[in-house]
């Protein structure tokens, strides 16, 4: 880009504390909201508009001038107009030469144009320094003080100095700039607000698929099988019993799936003898979805805890208890307390509660506001060490709950294993392989690889 333009003076650092004037082209919703926020933050604002008549919607401390006049007053110009109208900027090329143009536009569809709006603007005005930014912040967020919305502002651009100026303004508004690199990243930044929970798609679809499978599995074994072979109509199990089997099974399976990709990654690194080769795409995607999978698992675990709380209130529970009492009364014998059973039942409940506590801790530390306040080592300690401990406790909770039931032929209705056995498959596989991975003869080379050592160095 041309650095010896007539407007390079505009990029000179400001020695005083006074904020530099910012020009905004466009007086639409976003232009007004941004201007308002800038004035609040101490920036003098001048609007460039076709009509210089001051509307009462425009912040009252702002100046409104024609485009060329307004542009001359500032080094940074926010282009708050739609891409279709960019052509009107072409005649202003001379006055915009060397200026920083901030493209804040968004599109209506993903990848609507072959090149991003910001790149289009840069092609139209090659003498200006185009920076993409602010398109991920809504006018509403700016007006409501950004307290209850994301504070991150993605920025990209080819001119480092220009990008720095825009990032300073972002900071001056109390927001957090995130440098996404060169203008090539603009397409991605423009697509960002059009995506609906992009990181959640895979975890949500996986959970839906697994949830439906486990629901029908439990329905078949706990309701339909009982109806056919025991002539008991337990259709009401659909309300609490079946969900309270599906929720914990989902929680445990998904928790296992959070740690499984780490196991695959370790095996791949050990096999390749280097950490410098990309993981396969499916593994990359899976690794990126771990936080979301963990949070969904936590939601299921919480539902399980809440559903378990109401167990004693159920008519079915009191019917079962009274049936046991009556049968003891009829046979005139009191069944003595089985201490082994009491131990097992207390232990599995204690493990469930401890596992749940750690699970909640993992969920809390994965929230950005909390994870930003701990260092990388602390974060890894919680997510890895305490995470594995949570997995061990929850797996033990389920194993002890199942006890010797897996040895009983009636546990295999229609020759199928009970649902709790299915929930143990992924976590047990993860824990067994993890156990092998922590053996010094495996752990040592893996740690070295992760520290940068290569079995066959490339250089």
For ligand HEM, the binding residues (CB under 6 A) are 244-245, 248-249, 251-252, 255, 301, 304-305, 308, 349, 352-353, 355-356, 359, 394, 397-398, 401, 419-420, 423
> For residues 20 and 222, which CB has a smaller minimum distance to ligand HEM in the complex?
222
Q: How many CA atoms lie within 13 A of 15 on its CB side?
A: 0
* Least distance CB 222 / ligand HEM (angstroms): 9
Q: How far is the CB of 246 from ligand HEM (least distance, A)?
A: 9
Which of residues 138 and 308 has its CB atom nearest to ligand HEM in the complex? Answer: 308
The 3-state secondary structure of 254-295, one letter per residue: HHHHHHHHHHHHHHHHHHHCCCCCCCCHHHHHHHHCHHHHHH
The Cα 136–Cα 149 span in angstroms is 11
Helix (H) / strand (E) element for 69: namely helix 67-72
Confirm if 75 and 165 have CB atoms less than 8 A apart: yes
Residue 414 neighbours by CB under 8 Å, 6+ apart: 220, 221, 225
Phi-psi region of 249 (alpha: psi -120 to 50; beta: other; left: phi over 0): alpha
Least Cβ distance, residue 360 to ligand HEM (angstroms):
9
Question: What dihedral do alpha carbons 270, 274, 277, 280 form, nearest 10°?
Answer: 0
CA distance 134 to 167: 10
CA distance 186 to 117: 8
CB of 23 closer than 8 Å to CB of 78 = yes
Q: Of 25 and 348, which CB lies nearer to ligand HEM in the complex structure?
A: 348
Pick 43 or 359: Cβ nearer ligand HEM: 359
* Residue placing its CB nearer to ligand HEM in the complex, 154 or 420: 420
CB of 233 to ligand HEM, least distance (A): 19
Question: In this complex, which beta carbon is closest to ligand HEM, that of residue 125 or of residue 305?
Answer: 305
Nearest residue to 2 via CA among 117, 99, 101, 133: 99
Nearer to ligand HEM, 355 or 363 (CB): 355
The least distance separating ligand HEM from the CB of residue 298, rounded to whole angstroms, comes to: 9
Kindly tell me which of 22 and 206 has the beta carbon lying closer to ligand HEM.
206
Q: How far apart are CA 23 and CA 71, in angstroms?
A: 6
In whole angstroms, the minimum distance from the beta carbon of 240 to ligand HEM comes to: 9
Residue whose pair of structure tokens reads 């994965």 in the numeric block:
366
CB of 335 to ligand HEM, least distance (A): 19
CA pair distance 312, 314, nearest whole angstrom: 6
Q: Is the dihedral of CA 68, 69, 72, 75 positive or negative?
A: negative
Give 154 or 356: the residue with its C-beta nearer to ligand HEM: 356
Shortest Cβ 218–ligand HEM spacing (Å): 8
CB of 307 to ligand HEM, least distance (A): 9
């Amino acid at each position: 880009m041309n650095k010896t333009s007539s407007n390079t003076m505009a990029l000179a650092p400001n020695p005083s504390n006074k904020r530099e004037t910012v020009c905004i082209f466009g007086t639409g919703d976003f232009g007004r909201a941004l201007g308002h926020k800038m004035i609040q933050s101490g920036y003098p604002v001048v609007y460039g508009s076709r009509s210089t008549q001051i509307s009462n919607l425009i912040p009252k401390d702002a100046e409104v001038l024609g485009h060329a006049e307004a542009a001359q007053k500032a080094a940074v110009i926010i282009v708050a107009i739609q891409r279709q109208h960019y052509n009107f900027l072409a005649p202003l090329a001379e006055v915009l030469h060397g200026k920083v143009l901030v493209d804040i536009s968004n599109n209506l569809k993903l990848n609507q144009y072959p090149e991003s709006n910001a790149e289009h603007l840069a092609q139209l005005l090659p003498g200006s320094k185009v920076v993409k930014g602010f398109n991920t912040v809504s006018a509403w967020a700016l007006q409501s003080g950004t307290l209850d919305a994301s504070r991150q502002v993605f920025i990209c651009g080819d001119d480092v100095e220009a990008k720095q100026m825009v990032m300073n303004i972002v900071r001056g508004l109390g927001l957090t700039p995130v440098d996404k690199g060169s203008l090539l990243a603009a397409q991605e930044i423009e697509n960002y607000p059009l995506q609906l929970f992009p990181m959640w798609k895979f975890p949500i679809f996986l959970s839906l698929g697994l949830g439906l499978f486990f629901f029908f599995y439990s329905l078949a074994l706990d309701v339909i099988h009982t109806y056919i072979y025991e002539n008991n109509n337990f259709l009401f199990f659909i309300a609490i019993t079946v969900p309270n089997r599906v929720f914990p099974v989902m929680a445990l399976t998904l928790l296992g799936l959070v740690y499984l990709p780490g196991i695959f990654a370790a095996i791949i690194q050990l096999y390749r003898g280097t950490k410098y080769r990309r993981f396969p795409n499916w593994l990359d995607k899976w690794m990126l979805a771990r936080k979301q999978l963990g949070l969904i698992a936590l939601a299921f675990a919480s539902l399980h805890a809440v559903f378990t709380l109401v167990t004693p209130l159920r008519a079915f529970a009191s019917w079962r208890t009274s049936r046991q009492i009556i049968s003891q009364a009829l046979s005139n014998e009191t069944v003595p307390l089985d201490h082994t059973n009491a131990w097992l039942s207390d232990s599995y409940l204690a493990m469930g509660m401890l596992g749940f506590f750690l699970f909640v801790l993992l969920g809390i530390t994965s929230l950005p506001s909390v994870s930003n306040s701990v260092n990388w080592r602390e974060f890894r300690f919680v997510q890895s060490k305490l995470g594995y401990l949570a997995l061990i406790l929850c797996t033990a909770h389920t194993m002890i709950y199942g006890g010797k039931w897996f040895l009983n032929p009636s546990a295999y209705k229609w020759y199928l294993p009970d649902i709790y056995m299915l929930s143990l498959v992924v976590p047990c596989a993860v824990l067994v392989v993890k156990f092998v991975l922590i053996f010094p003869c495996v752990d040592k080379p893996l740690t070295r690889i992760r520290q940068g050592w290569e079995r066959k160095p490339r250089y």
